[in-house]
Structure 1
Amino acid sequence: MAEKESNTMESIPSPVEALEQEKLDVKQESQQEKKPLADTTSFTSESDIEKVPHSKLVDVTKPGRPDQTRSRELRKLTGAALLSNAWLNRGTGFNLEQRRQLKLEGLLPPNCETLQLQSERVLEQLEAKNLVPLNQFNILKEISSTNQTLFYKVLIDNIEKLAPVVYTPTVGEACKRFDHIYREPSGIYLSAFHNKGRFSELLKNWPSKAVQIIVVTDGSRILGLGDLGTNGMGIPLGKISLFVAAGGFHPEHSLPLCLDAGTNNEDLLKDKFYMGEKQKRLEGDAYWDAIDELCDAVKSLWPDALLQFEDFETQKAFEILERRRCRQLCFNDDIQGTGAVVVAGIINGLKIQNTDPSDVRILFFGAGASAVGVAEAIAAYLETEAGVPRERARKAIFLVDSKGLVYDNRSDDLPSHKRLFAKTDKDLEEIGFESKGASSDKIHEALKDLKSVVAAVKPHALVGLSAAGPSWNKEVVKEMCKHVERPLIFPLSNPTDKAEITAEQAVKWSGGAAIFAAGSPFDPVKLPSSSKKKVSLSSSFSSSSSSSSSDEGETFSSSSTSSSSDNEQEDKKKKRVLIPGQANNVFIFPGVGFGAVMSKAKYVSDAMFTAAAKALAGTVSEEQLKMGQLYPKMATLRETSAAVAAAVAKEAWESGISGLEEVPQEDWVEYIKMKMWSPEGEKEQGVPGEIENVAQSEE
């Protein structure tokens, strides 16, 4: 497609050209002093924002190539200062000519190495004996802080092994110990106590002039670990690494951000190493003033950037999303991202069960931000794709919290976010629950424990988002199996020790019938010898998407025929191992973010998340479905993210909220892939001067 932006793969400027660019920057900056700030018009709904021209919603200046958007200070770096900059440093990857031009001679070992060889050295370090995941996390963190090109080369090429190290579940342990393992600054910290009124000024200290993706947390609800204050910065750091590695953002266009609004964690307040404000959390107007100042500052400085909210306290997470979702490009991964990844699993799970979506019943164990967000995402999918009215769809979704079934006549006061799914006496009658004129208190008492609720609801799927740890016992699983031949068992709480049930327990207690997916990785499980996997796929629900290779010899076969062949019997035995599926948000958020930014979307709509869920479900082949797989392999994460991003960008275009001037001439997936950054591309765009990558010169 015709574009005004420079192609990111063009040759980089020479030192002379860089000097001319520097002069031009000075001239432009003097002219921009008189320019008004980006428009900060407020909107209250998606319909309001659609009426406003895109030019009113974004700055006319679009981020270009990294070498064009770097500050003059970065473009002038040489010598030891250059080696200290993680964005520009290539370590031993600088060739002899680069070393001469950039005053690096003598500062590096003589041998010039390829990026591949550098990567192999890192892998050798990571695979050393007796290294626990947190040790690997620290090694990768150190490399990331010194050489981002090398860090992302290692991460992208080994994403299946290292995604659990840079993010869940290892990042949870890293956050708990963040103040004790801290080594060097990363990201931006904004104190709601001492930086009030100066957020915009402090954000300008970030060296990148063209931020496209920001992940922000206030540390109030980190994974299933609770209030960790500024120790929660590990989450934005981990998510940014996946936005880059899986989504395709350029590292220089990313920003991890932590809003320090205090902490109510007494252990942290007493810890001499805790690095955040040692004050109780702000509440009320003071807190909301800080949120608004942060969001407004981001929009003013980087109008086209996507702001992703992460791990905020449940009620505040909903309120922040409602306040900001139609005012700037943003989303909440806990609420919307989790919803999309679970919808994808439900889509494929119902195909395996041969269940019509209009007949489904889903039970949630946990009723926080993630659970309600997922529930509403499923209701939206059932409405738009299965033709089920939204209210009826909500009636098919049940929530259980610490007090039992979320029921509108309970004696306690239900928070607003739970009321959408609170069940009435009539709702219970419709599913066959006989109250026999019992009082509300007695009904509540009868539906207080999970097994009783499962018996009453007869759900096709049980979804855990409670962060309660082991809580689904053998009786609960067996009760699920009474009503559905192949129940969907989704313990999605992170990290692993917060999961409601293990893969081994689900398989053992269900006799191998459970279709399992978790939020964190689990080890392979040997299927019971008596388990029967007979899956009938209805043609009306068959997958129409592209397929990817299956895990031969690793996962069970869903259907089997008798054979007297010893070889075939041996093959069967080898295949009777379940590789537990992982319903990880990483399949969704990188693609949603990249697709939204590359389509220049005005905002992130609900329809874009539905498109993302369908695209994710579509990356699983029919053969994989027959083997009980709900999600693609983590090894194909970058391909999966491209498919998700393409679906999101296409939906933005078709719904009229894209700022692209014309539809790409390429296929949407090819368009997205063309825009994705890769470490190998740095040989053309990442280093000052007209210099070639040593790998190319050696070849």
Structure 2
Amino acid sequence: MLSRMLAALRPCVASARWVHTKEKGKPLMLNPRTNKGMAFNLRERQILGLQGLLPPKIETQNIQALRFKRNLDKMTDPLEKYIYLMGIQERNERLFYRVLMEDIERLMPIVYTPTVGLACSQYGHIFRRPKGLFISILDRGHIRSILDNWPETNVNAVVVTDGERILGLGDLGVYGMGIPVGKLCLYTACAGIRPEWCLPVCIDVGTNNQTLLKDPFYMGLYQKRDRSQLYDDLIDEFMEAVVDKYGQDTLIQFEDFGNHNAFRFLRKYREKYCTFNDDIQGTASVALAGLLAAQRTIGKPITEHRVLFLGAGEAALGIANLIVMAMMEAGVSQADARKKIWMFDKYGLLVQGREDIDSNQEGFVHPSPGNVQSFLDAVNLLKPTAIIGVAGAGPLFTKEVLAAMGNLNDRPIIFALSNPTNKAECTAEDAYTITQGRCLFASGSPFGPVTLSDGRVFTPGQGNNAYIFPGVALAVILSGVRHISDTIFLQAAKTLAEQLTDKDMEQGRLYPPLSNIREVSLRMAVKIVEYVYAKGMAFRYPEPMDKNSFVRASVWNTQYDSFLPDIYDWPGSAQEPPKIE
């Protein structure tokens, strides 16, 4: 696998790359990886059996992209745009990624959160063509042979879900396939990871969603979720089959598993495989980056903050643990760092004496501070400098909560990170308006600029995991990391915060503009490659001396390949043969 991968790490050049293909005619056009539409030139059409199968005009990719964008502009419904975008991906991969990359700020909310959540909920009703690999619990014992059915042999990154906790929408079963597909789109669009290196997987063990079990268009197993040992055996077999097929350093990203499985799988597999959980570690990294950016804005070190979470699940615990790591790096003990972090869930504060505390939460369980009946009570009693919402329960940062944060702090930090948009804890407009523009705000899903009555305009930051996981994945793939430490996500957070400019901060941003996400991801990948080699965590040798050039040379581009055959003359082929005596 290494030799094949290194062969692909060539610099992006202005001229088209020559690629050999055995396909001809209609199959060449039906393969999204080789299809160029009307951009096939005359010689390609004649030699590859395409002449007459296309209109006579030969188009440039520029014209194709313009048509693509104009058609999108005519659409107003986000789901309609999603269907159209994914249709283009199914037909012409390079054109899809070109348009996505050129307008990433506008189109990311379509291919990713929040629209991808709507698309998942409607997956069986908008289905056109299968994407990714579906593995059911009925396939136990045969997963390796199922992987052999996947057409690409050089897979370096797998994103897998079992569909139990899709965004804030809950159990969607196999409809959750839209999440790995969307994540891997961003691997390519944001970090230039080659699409053929990426494999989306959905594990189907049933669903507890009664609506889906009664839906004739549902596409998965009509059974309740299997929570027996067979489920664990299936995941074990899947992990073993992936590394057996693609290699020990294959990156496996877990996505949208239920809380009860997310943490235990992370603990179980992180020292054996090259794996991470984006809901725990990616969310933690982007949230910490926002706090580090706020630290730059208000001049208060992270060690002096008191953080109150709304939610105590995998996202909250992931963020909390990474904050503790950052505080410890600044010289605070683990015990003292944990004392600065509180959590409030649907049953109230995590305090001593509660019977429903699980082992993952124990580090953040404190003596009761007094009578706390609501989140507002917790804010008034604990006086946090930052509130972070990751409960997925809707607008629970009420006007009273926001006003209390404004009264307690000159510059309150308010992170409403739940997805999709209708699950956000508050809107950007409420946060800025109620705090008179003094808050430092970030959200999980996008909100537009907010103009206050005095004319000030604030551009809310989007604490989007896409700032983290593509750059981390690129660095891990290129350097051959076999086990992904939390320190890598700490480095990612610091690198992201460092890329925030003074101009960004003046606009109220806590993250760089999404339009710059490709450069943000590449710089992050360079920093992480430098870090893992310095720490002895990389296993791809020889170590590249110029790591910036090494990373940038790997980046896939959207320019069409040339499929003309490699025609050449033999030396002396025109000479006369010797005469027969």
- State the TM-score bracket (shorter-chain normalisation): over 0.9
1:91 aligns to what?
Answer: 37
Distance in 2, Cα, partners of 1:424 & 1:317: 27
Residue 439 of structure 2 is aligned to residue 495 of structure 1? no
The AA in structure 2 aligned to 1:593 is A
Q: Does residue 1:514 correspond to 2:457, yes or no? A: no
- 2:565 counterpart residue number: 689
**Contact 1:352/1:628, CA 8 A, preserved across alignment:** no
Counterpart position of 1:217: 161
Specify the SS of the correspondent of 2:360.
helix
Equivalent in the alignment of 2:7: 6
Deviation at 1:633, TM superposition (A): 0.2
Residues 66 and 677 of structure 1, relative CA distance in 2, 3 Å threshold? farther
CA contact (8 A) 1:607 1:651 kept: no
> What's the offset of the Cα at 1:403?
1.2
Matched residue, 1:138: 83
Report the counterpart of residue 290 of structure 2 in structure 1: 345
1:335 is the counterpart of 2:260: no
With over 3 angstroms needed to count, the CA separation of the structure-2 counterparts of 1:391 and 1:136, relative to structure 1, is: same
Distance 1:96 1:644 in 2: 42
Aligned 1:201-600 pairs, distance under 5 A:
201-303=145-247, 304-384=249-329, 386-410=330-354, 412-424=355-367, 428=369, 443=370, 446-529=371-454, 573=455, 576-600=456-480
State the Cα deviation string for residues 416-474 of structure 1 (Å, max 9, x = none).
2211211125xx4xxxxxxxxxxxxxx4xx12311111112211111000001111111
Matched, 1:77 2:23: yes
Give the superposition deviation at 1:688: 6.6
Question: What secondary structure does 2:414 align onto?
Answer: strand
C-alpha deviation, 1:11, in angstroms: 11
Cα distance in 1 between the residues matched to 2:288 and 2:134: 34
Offset at 1:351?
2.1
How far apart, in 1, do the equivalents of 2:28 and 2:481 lie? 35
Q: Is the 8 A contact 1:403 1:448 kept in 2?
A: no
Q: Distance in 2 between matches of 1:481 and 1:235?
A: 36
Q: Which amino acid aligns with 2:68?
A: V
Q: Which residue identity does 1:95 align to in structure 2? A: N
Give the superposed CA RMSD.
Answer: 2.0
* CA-to-aligned-CA distance 1:225-246 (integer Å, 9 cap, x gap): 0000000001011111000111
Does the 8 Å CA contact 2:10/2:553 hold for their aligned counterparts? no
Tell me, yes or no, if the aligned pair for 2:12 and 2:557 is still in contact at 8 Å: no
Structure 2 residue 96 is matched with structure 1 residue 151: yes
Residue 645 of structure 1 and its aligned partner are, at CA, apart by 1.1
Q: Does 1:678 align with 2:557?
A: yes
SS at match of 1:609: helix
Q: CA–CA distance in 2 between the matches of 1:326 and 1:67?
A: 39
Q: What amino acid does structure 2 have at the position aligned with 1:191? A: S
Q: CA 1:456/1:653 → structure 2, altered by over 3 Å: closer, same or farther?
A: same
On the 8 A contact 2:11/2:555 being kept in 1, the answer is: no
**1:683 alignment partner, SS class:** coil
1:630 aligns with 2:555: no
For 2:341, the aligned partner's letter is I
- Separation in 2 of the partners of 1:273 and 1:11? 44
Q: 1:99 is aligned with what amino acid?
A: R
Q: CA shift at 1:124, angstroms?
A: 0.6
Equivalent position of 1:608 in the other structure? 488
Q: Relative to structure 1, is the Cα distance of residues 325 and 142 closer, same or farther in structure 2, using a 3 angstrom cutoff? A: same
Distance 1:400 1:277 in 2: 36
Structure 1 residue 507 displacement after superposition: 1.1
Instruction: Quote the Cα distance in structure 2 between the aligned partners of 1:9 and 1:624.
Output: 34
Question: Cα offset for 1:660?
Answer: 2.8
CA distance in 2, matches of 1:295, 1:315: 19
Shift of the alpha carbon at 1:628? 2.3
1:605-652 alpha-carbon deviations (Å, 9 max, x no partner): 111111111111011013322432210000001001111111221221
Quote how far apart the aligned CAs of 1:366 are.
Answer: 0.5
Corresponding letter in the other structure for 2:465: N
C-alpha distance after superposition, 1:380-426 (max 9, x if no partner)? 11112x1212222111111110011111222x32122211211125x
Deviation at 1:665, TM superposition (A): 2.6
Per the alignment, residue 532 of structure 1 pairs with none
**In the aligned structure 2, how far is the partner of 1:6 from the partner of 1:257?**
26
| C-alpha displacement of 1:594 | 0.6
The residue type equivalent to 1:478 in the other structure is A
TM-score (norm 2): 0.93
Deviations 1:300-342 (A, max 9, x none): 1111321110000012000111111111111100000000000
Aligned to 1:105: 51
User: What percent identity do the matched residue pairs reach?
Assistant: 41
Residues in 2 aligned to 1:67 and 1:492: alpha-carbon distance in whole angstroms: 44
Instruction: Please identify, of 509-518 and 624-633, the stretch whose mean Cα deviation from structure 2 is larger.
Output: 624-633
CA separation in 1, counterparts of 2:128 and 2:9? 33
How far has the Cα of 1:101 moved from its partner?
Answer: 2.0
User: Which of the residues 545, 548, 551 maps onto 1:669?
Assistant: 548
Q: Does 1:646 align with 2:526?
A: yes
CA distance in structure 2 between the partners assigned to 1:524 and 1:11 by the alignment: 36
Cα 1:577–1:79 shift into 2, 3 Å? same
For 1:688 and 1:504, the matched residues in 2 are separated by: 55
Structure 2 residues not aligned, in runs of 5+:
568-581
CA contact (8 A) 2:459 2:507 kept: no
TM-score where L is the length of structure 1 = 0.78
d(CA) in 2 for partners of 1:638 and 1:189? 30
Q: Provide the rounded CA distance (Å) in 2 between the counterparts of 1:66 and 1:307.
A: 31
Instruction: Say yes or no: does 1:186 pair with 2:131.
Output: yes
Output the CA distance in 2 between the equivalents of 1:140 and 1:490.
30
Unaligned runs of 5+ in 1: 13-64, 69-74, 429-442, 530-572, 692-699
Q: Aligned pairs, how many?
A: 561
Contact 1:408 1:419 (C-alpha < 8 Å) held by counterparts: no
Contact 2:11 / 2:554 at 8 angstroms: preserved in 1? no
Distance across 2 between alignment mates of 1:453 and 1:246: 39
Instruction: Look up the match of 1:122.
Output: 68
Q: 1:380 to 1:67 in 2, by over 3 A?
A: farther
> Residue type matched to 1:199 in 2?
I
Query: By how many angstroms is 1:145 displaced?
Result: 0.6
Contact 2:460 2:508 in 1 (8 A): no
